[in-house]
Structure 1
Amino acid sequence: MAQTSSTSQPVPSGTHHQVSRFVIIVSAIAAIGGLLFGYDTGVISGAILFIKEQFRLDSTMQEFVVSSVLVGSVTGAALGGLLGDRFGRRHMIILAGIIFGLGALLTAFTPNLTILVIGRVIVGVGIGIASFISPMYISEVAPKSIRGTLVFLNQLALTLGILLSYWVDYLFTNVSEGWRLMLGLAIVPALALALGMAKMPDSPRWLIMRNRGGQARKVLHQIRGTQNVDAELEEIHSSLATEGSSQWSDLLKPALRLPLMIGIGLAIFQQVTGINTVIYYAPTIMEFSGLKSAGASILATTGVGVINVLFTIVGSWFVDRAGRRPLLLTSLIGMAISLALLAVSFQLPQLASSLGVAVVIILMLYVASFAIGLGPVFWLLISEIYPLNIRSKAMSVATVANWGANLIVAMTFLSIVNALGRPGAFWLYAVLTLCSVVFTYLLVPETKGRTLEQIQEELKTHHLK
């Protein structure tokens, strides 16, 4: 299926989409949701070094504090699917910013461990909503010619959020109870997201789905920078008329089995290949390699964050040129090699004297590989492969699977290290990455150069029996 779908279909006459400056601004503001996602993902890696000392946490309790945000994320992803169609993409992004800001304040001013965990769960709800609503909104407002690049803005913002969190962690390393400032500063991007999205338009596709065609036309005029939007409106109306209304049970229909399998499969593989063990526990991994001070570990981790940003930019340049599948396959192969090298590095005693340097270099290779493909392409693909009438629900299911797998990985990493040893843990992630290569090669389609409506027609003819 993947091979036959890689040839772009011709674009119907009159459906050329203009690229306006305004659509880039809209996408950039929505991408602040990715910044929130990234900031909280990264900030806990440094904060946990100090939280564990203040509250005297063993490895199990460290996993619990780190993972508590993921419980909220699963909840937020599920709520986003339920409410995204009813209240619209824009309003849900605004809600995500408000929830995230409240949670950030609660974690910063927490009097005890219980309130800290509750605050982390609330933060997670905001992240869970924003993590898929933001790329979905961008996908629905973007012209097809640069849709991949614009959705990559969300991932770029995510990587910038991670890098920013590492800098903040380092800045407050020697400040008394600096972890409170690390967590509390997330209120700044949360407010920027909520206030910025209040000025943005609703998704034209959502407006049409809610029978508000007049408003949809005005929004398309605004974001396309042209009055010639009739063909695009007609294509959206036609696709929605064919799809009809949707129920959760529609996800099990034959035509949606393949897209659902792709979304859930990539969601799980994105996590079980180990990326968030690196993001959440990067300073801890640095300490494994011999960097003993918290400041040195966090500073080394910052280098990994820089690589994450730079290679996300590289991926954004290639995604609408080379396509989604080549980036995914290149990404996964690079990750598998990196994980194998990491396992070998911890396995060979003769590397002990230079282990810290080796681990930093290999982690950079691993993160670079993730950043050009699996990281952003997963979110891009799930925003593209589902029909409009059920997109919010389907993306919610994939996102719940993603956060659920994230939760399992985060809660088991230190335990797996204790059970299998450091080399064994990374060998396990390497094998799972090879499995994801096979999955991608066999099932994942190419969506470059098509409108969202063309993608739905393509997938209908290749669904699993």
Structure 2
Amino acid sequence: MRDVATDTIDTPKSPAIVVLIAVMAALGGLLFGYDTGIIGVALLGLGKYFALDDLTKQLVTGGIVFGALFGCLGTGPLSDRLGRRLMVIAVGLVFAVGSIASAISTNIEFLIFSRFLLGLSAGSATQIIPVYIAEVAPPQHRGKMVVLFQFMVVFGITVAYFSGFVLGDHWRWMFGLGLVPAIILLLGMVVLPESPRWLVMKHQELKAQEILERLRASKDAAIAEIAEIETVANHPQGSWKDLMQPWVRPAVVVGAAIAMFSQITGNNALIYYAPTILTSAGFSHNAAILGTGASTLLVVIMTMIGSILVDKIGRRRYLLLTIPGSIVALIVMGVLFMGAGPQSDLSKFLVVACLCIYLMLNCGGFGVCIWLINAEVYPLFVRGKGAALGAFSHWFFDLIVTLTTLSLVTALGATYTFWLYALISIGALIFIIYLVPETKGKTLEEIEGDLKENRFYAYQQKK
């Protein structure tokens, strides 16, 4: 019996179908970006409507992050059991429900619960969508295809900020607009195919080959890829405990640490709270929103550039080129907030410029690579659970940053908070230099081979 999803695709044998799959699946990234970004603008209106203090603002913002912790862990085992495609459909469905619930909230408790629902879906999206795209994309284009997810994330954040600027204090409309891309994602995924690698893992080689013949330039290429997948697919489906096997552990270290550093270096902290920090420093509401919105627009541009560069110069080298600049921007921004903070028009302009540079290089660096690396490094038999663990690391440290940023700024001051993030970024740079491997141009099966032969870490590859 033929697979329903396979029957719906009558597209000629062309890589264009892979682009369509990546774009449609990456709409989950747009939802993730929109719903995490919109809170930064909505807090200004919510603060007036519900009379929120700093702690409650952090709880409202953290609701989506807390939900994501559960979403990413639960999706890994389910995607291994039920399939990648079905879980992407579930992502769209929960996003739709959470968007409606957030828009109709009448009290702060229900709003936090609604944000928790959105978090379940956001966490699931960060686990399953990069894995789904990575498993259908050809190796030479896998980087730019998976980075489409991150492009949609930062595009969603940008849409959120400029939508918030237009809508003013109408926070219900801000939350409700998330329903639109959720419906598009649901409709699109109905006609897209299952991951061929998941099908091989489930001993459905004929269905997998039929799909690959539609995704690759020739039947011979599809047959060769199936044969390569089968060399690693005969391993029994792994458990959480298998992630701690000595040969798998390096993938866990790299995947989880890159996810951790993407958060504790401060980028989401500033995306969530930049308008609040800027207004407390004397910026008008509109100037704070537009300043942060301009930053996210630059992140979109940098993500587009990064999506090309990661397949040309490599993931690791790209990180080594972007992160140092973000460190300098944080240090300068800390200097500008010393004493009474930015007072003159020039100093305020420099603050916004540093914010733009920092977010462009940090989000455009870590953001481009985090989901790509996390989808590539794990062996097939634990890829779902490994990607879930990496996503959990992202959301766990995002939650810590979300619940502490405003308190840190109050306790330490903006200057020392920015310098703390700069110090952590230096630690991240050292980690990348010595441990993060280069995966550019390698098949997923070749990366698995590096793990088995103890030549995975960057310093091992240089021997």
TM-score (norm 2): 0.93
Which of 153, 162, 172 does residue 158 from structure 1 map onto? 153
Q: What letter corresponds to residue 292 of structure 2 in structure 1?
A: T
Pairing 1:30–2:22 present: no
Pairing 1:253–2:248 present: no
Pairing 1:79–2:74 present: yes
CA contact (8 A) 1:19 1:143 kept: no
| Whole-angstrom distance in 2 between the partners of 1:461 and 1:305 | 41
| Whole-angstrom distance in 2 between the partners of 1:446 and 1:299 | 37
Which of 413, 420, 423 does residue 415 from structure 2 map onto? 423
CA contact (8 A) 1:343 1:423 kept: yes
| Whole-angstrom distance in 2 between the partners of 1:60 and 1:248 | 35
| Whole-angstrom distance in 2 between the partners of 1:350 and 1:429 | 18
Taking the TM superposition and a 5 Å limit, the aligned residue runs for 1:51-62 are: 51-62=46-57
| Whole-angstrom distance in 1 between the partners of 2:185 and 2:270 | 27
| Whole-angstrom distance in 1 between the partners of 2:237 and 2:265 | 36
Per the alignment, residue 359 of structure 1 pairs with 351
**Residue 32 to residue 238, structure 1, CA distance change in 2 (3 Å):** same
Cα deviation code 1:361-395 (max 9, x no counterpart): 00110111124321120110111110111000011
Deviation at 1:405, TM superposition (A): 0.2
| Whole-angstrom distance in 2 between the partners of 1:365 and 1:19 | 38
| Whole-angstrom distance in 2 between the partners of 1:240 and 1:67 | 38
Taking the TM superposition and a 5 Å limit, the aligned residue runs for 1:24-173 are: 24-173=19-168
| Whole-angstrom distance in 2 between the partners of 1:305 and 1:131 | 19
| Whole-angstrom distance in 1 between the partners of 2:384 and 2:366 | 21
Taking the TM superposition and a 5 Å limit, the aligned residue runs for 1:288-307 are: 288-292=280-284, 294-307=285-298
Per the alignment, residue 185 of structure 2 pairs with 193
| Whole-angstrom distance in 1 between the partners of 2:150 and 2:165 | 23
CA contact (8 A) 1:149 1:320 kept: yes
Per the alignment, residue 236 of structure 1 pairs with 229
**Residue 426 to residue 19, structure 1, CA distance change in 2 (3 Å):** farther
| Whole-angstrom distance in 1 between the partners of 2:14 and 2:238 | 31
Give % identity: 38
Which of 427, 451, 457 does residue 443 from structure 2 map onto? 451
| Whole-angstrom distance in 2 between the partners of 1:330 and 1:53 | 42
Deviation at 1:159, TM superposition (A): 1.0
Per the alignment, residue 400 of structure 1 pairs with 392
Cα deviation code 1:189-215 (max 9, x no counterpart): 111111111110000000111111111
How many residues align? The count is: 443
| Whole-angstrom distance in 1 between the partners of 2:342 and 2:239 | 57
Cα deviation code 1:95-131 (max 9, x no counterpart): 0110011011001011111111110000100100011
Unaligned ranges ≥5, structure 2: 1-12
Other structure's SS at 1:352 match: coil
Deviation at 1:63, TM superposition (A): 0.5
Pairing 1:332–2:332 present: no
Taking the TM superposition and a 5 Å limit, the aligned residue runs for 1:302-381 are: 302-347=293-338, 351-353=342-344, 354-381=346-373
CA contact (8 A) 1:42 1:279 kept: yes
Deviation at 1:350, TM superposition (A): 8.4
The CA RMSD over aligned residues, in Å, is 1.5
Cα deviation code 1:389-444 (max 9, x no counterpart): 10000111111111000000000000001111110111110100000001111100
Deviation at 1:285, TM superposition (A): 2.5
Deviation at 1:334, TM superposition (A): 1.6
Other structure's SS at 1:111 match: coil
TM-score (norm 1): 0.93
Other structure's SS at 1:448 match: coil
CA contact (8 A) 1:342 1:359 kept: yes
| Whole-angstrom distance in 1 between the partners of 2:87 and 2:292 | 33
Q: What letter corresponds to residue 51 of structure 1 in structure 2?
A: L
Q: What letter corresponds to residue 154 of structure 1 in structure 2?
A: F
| Whole-angstrom distance in 2 between the partners of 1:202 and 1:335 | 39
Q: What letter corresponds to residue 135 of structure 2 in structure 1?
A: E
CA contact (8 A) 1:289 1:355 kept: no
| Whole-angstrom distance in 1 between the partners of 2:213 and 2:228 | 16
Unaligned ranges ≥5, structure 1: 1-17
Q: What letter corresponds to residue 320 of structure 2 in structure 1?
A: L
**Residue 244 to residue 344, structure 1, CA distance change in 2 (3 Å):** same
Deviation at 1:83, TM superposition (A): 0.5
**Residue 217 to residue 49, structure 1, CA distance change in 2 (3 Å):** same
| Whole-angstrom distance in 2 between the partners of 1:245 and 1:25 | 29
